[in-house]
Structure 1
């Protein structure tokens, strides 16, 4: 049984030099899960990758390079559900229209959302008042 709840809220500048920090926070959360019976190394890798990819997408696509925008990431564990949220202030996009990568063409980019979707149990992207939220859910049972 995992702890009843954990809440982490991180805000970083939109600079790629902070991507390693975001990924390592995801790894650290996994190491602190009490009673988690699954593969900790695999889950730590997955959280590092999805958080890094999601934050990289915000930095690359969701802000003006001259802006002083921030990337906000929240990590919440409630019972056996781990919810990651990445907030941005960009114009947004329709998650359902993003195609799967063409593996035959060996794409150099465009793999991020595919990887995120394949590693998480639930992925959604919604527009709120003046920001967007990429919500990633992983069930730990």
Structure 2
């Protein structure tokens, strides 16, 4: 899918002015589903008013989060459930990922010095660089990661 505002249906082309949008999907932890999620995220970001480069970056951050979840929480098992929800409000897009996999060591996903020689470990850096807010929490039933991206020109509350 392309990230062109012109591709949005006319009734959605007004983005935030049309009121908040919410969606939720449950998907298997199967990497073959990632293109479906990428297309959905890219189109939603475009409809909500993000420029092409921002759509691509947001899509990359969501893709990285899902890849990390599949690899680390579910140890590459393709038959586990992931709940992805998105809320598009007047000032931002917020993505929430819930899994029932292994707990993540918060120190591993907090900002750490980037090891230029490591083959992996760049995903969390990319996510933090792209998104305005990143929040991980352990829930009684699993893990939740929230990613938030504000629309350009929107002043964030402290």
Contact 2:29 2:77 in 1 (8 A): no
Residues 93-112 of structure 1 mapped to structure 2, 5 A cutoff: 93-98=104-109, 99-103=112-116, 105=117, 107-112=118-123
Residues 46-61 of structure 1 mapped to structure 2, 5 A cutoff: 46-61=57-72
Partner of 2:32: 17
Measure, in 2, the Cα distance between the counterparts of 1:23 and 1:95. Answer: 26
Q: Normalising to structure 2: TM-score of the pair?
A: 0.77
Q: Normalising to structure 1: TM-score of the pair?
A: 0.85
The answer to whether structure 1 residue 80 and structure 2 residue 94 are counterparts is no
Kindly report the root-mean-square deviation, in angstroms, between the aligned alpha carbons of the 2 structures: 1.9
SS state of the match for residue 110, structure 1? coil
Q: Which runs of 5+ in 1 are unaligned?
A: none
Measure, in 2, the Cα distance between the counterparts of 1:54 and 1:108. Answer: 17
Bigger relative contact order, structure 1 or 2 (CA pairs below 8 A, ≥6 apart): 1
